[in-house]
Amino acid sequence: MLVQIPQELPKEKSISQIKSVVGIDVGVNKLVALSDGSFVENIRVTTNIKTSRRLTMRQRAISRKRQGSQNKNKAYARIARTQHKLAQHRDGYNWQAASKSLSRNNFYMLKYKCYAQTMKKANRNE
């Protein structure tokens, strides 16, 4: 594997060169909400009928195997492979969504909502 590291980092753009600014809000229901009014939806890879059926079949197969047996280990490996493929599919979608939004805009502001703290404050008021 060959990795090339550039000698110089790209120069920062001045404020006058920035043409579009977009705020990003990372959410729970939607993956990302952009300040220009657009949304990036969460991908639902396990709602596909074929995929969800395959997952349930493999999970059922694990439950039927004897504890500590070689067959149970093989079943664990099968379901791990399936879940790994789903994770790769999800990651690929996230990278595609990020690169698409990056190509459209020059500058980003990121906002995270901390839902745990919000929920704690709501419970205190009750």
Report pLDDT digits (tens) over 6-39: 777 767 777 777 777 777 777 778 888 888 888 8
pLDDT at 116 (0 to 100): 55
User: For residues 117 and 126, what is the distance between their CA atoms, to the nearest angstrom?
Assistant: 15
Report pLDDT digits (tens) over 43-79: 888 888 999 999 999 999 999 999 999 999 999 999 9
6 and 93 Cβ atoms separated by less than 8 Å: no
**Which of 104, 112, 96, 113 is CA-nearest to residue 22?**
104
Report pLDDT digits (tens) over 110-119: 665 555 555 5
41 and 31 Cβ atoms separated by less than 8 Å: yes
- pLDDT bin (cut points 50, 70, 90) of residue 122 is low
pLDDT at 45 (0 to 100): 84
